[in-house]
């Protein structure tokens, strides 16, 4: 049973930084596609960043050049480094994973319903 546990959320002022972590356990194989999603109140869950088993990463336009997704395979941990935070980044942030490789999804890798495993979420609040 795959388990994902996020941590690192909190409250910061605009322009600040946070680093989210997602500890993964219970999966075998090396082809998992992993991602960060976020959901603000009243809005649909949206993809923030995706990383493949080979380390290739993609970032959504709203966070490009400010957020960086990475992973440490030895620690089975996924990260999201968030810099220059804006009030519009306020949301619950979720770690997601799927057994299928990212290349399998193509553009669907940005759709939350393609992922089979989810963490419980960690809240990020950015004040102006």
Residue 18, burial from CB neighbour count under 10 angstroms (0-12, 13-18, 19+): buried
Residue 72 corresponds to which tokens in the numbers above? 């440490």
According to DSSP, residue 14 is labeled T
Q: What is the pLDDT averaged over residues 10-24?
A: 97
pLDDT of residue 73: 87
- Checking if the pLDDT of 28 tops 70, the result is no
State the average pLDDT for the chain: 94
Residue 61, burial from CB neighbour count under 10 angstroms (0-12, 13-18, 19+): exposed
Q: What is the pLDDT averaged over residues 8-18?
A: 98
- Checking if the pLDDT of 40 tops 90, the result is yes
């Amino acid at each position: 049973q795959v388990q994902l546990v996020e941590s690192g959320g909190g409250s910061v002022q605009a322009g600040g930084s946070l680093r989210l972590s997602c500890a993964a356990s219970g999966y075998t194989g090396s082809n998992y596609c992993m991602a960060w999603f976020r959901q603000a109140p009243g809005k649909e869950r949206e993809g923030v960043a995706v990383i493949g088993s080979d380390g290739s990463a993609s970032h959504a336009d709203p966070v490009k050049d400010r957020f960086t997704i990475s992973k440490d395979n030895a620690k089975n941990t996924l990260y999201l480094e968030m810099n220059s935070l804006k009030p519009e980044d306020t949301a619950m942030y979720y770690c997601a994973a799927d057994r299928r490789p990212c290349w399998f999804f193509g553009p669907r890798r940005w759709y939350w319903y393609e992922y089979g495993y989810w963490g419980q979420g960690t809240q990020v609040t950015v004040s102006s």
